[in-house]
Amino acid sequence: MPMSPLCPCADTRVFADCCGPIINGTRAAESAEQLMRSRYSAYVIGDADYLSQSWHSDTRPSRIRLHPADRWLGLQIKSARGGPADTEGTVEFVARVKRGGKATRLHETSRFVREDGQWRYLDGKHHS
């Protein structure tokens, strides 16, 4: 659970009403953006099991390696498509993380598809 009651995904809701239910499996992500936000929150709280489960079976790595010293600093969603009636979507985002004392930005356009009726992360294209 995050230290702050606010959700790490930068939404204005508390974790228990935002990404928490998606991560703990009591509510499914309704959009590609919701899944993206929950995956970011999972990185913040170090939930490798959820990250693996939310990854599409065709591209899922055999092991998720989290860096315990990473300090996630924020998430900005630049664009998103893929809602409740869609079968695929994309989310362009910038995530900031401090790794090894150095702040860096991850700018990616992620692809999401439905697998067994659930949104899953398929892959992403990194931007410079």
- Mean pLDDT to the nearest integer, 5-22: 91
Dihedral sign computed on CA atoms, order 61, 17, 103, 109: positive
Query: Where residue 111 sits, what CATH number does that domain have?
Result: 3.10.450.50
Model pTM? 0.93
Q: Would you say residue 3 lies in a domain?
A: no
Domain of 33 in residue numbering reads as 15-126
| Block residue for tokens 């930068």 | 10
Q: Which residue has the higher pLDDT, 31 or 3?
A: 31
**DSSP per-residue string spanning 46-67:** T-HHHHHHTB-TTT--S-----
- Mean pLDDT to the nearest integer, 17-37: 97
Q: Which tokens hold the place of 37?
A: 């936000």
In the chain, how many domains are there? 1
Those residues with Cβ within 8 angstroms of residue 44's Cβ, 6 or more apart along the chain or in another chain: 2, 8, 72
Q: Would you say residue 8 lies in a domain?
A: no
- Residue 5 binned pLDDT confidence (cut-offs 50, 70, 90): confident
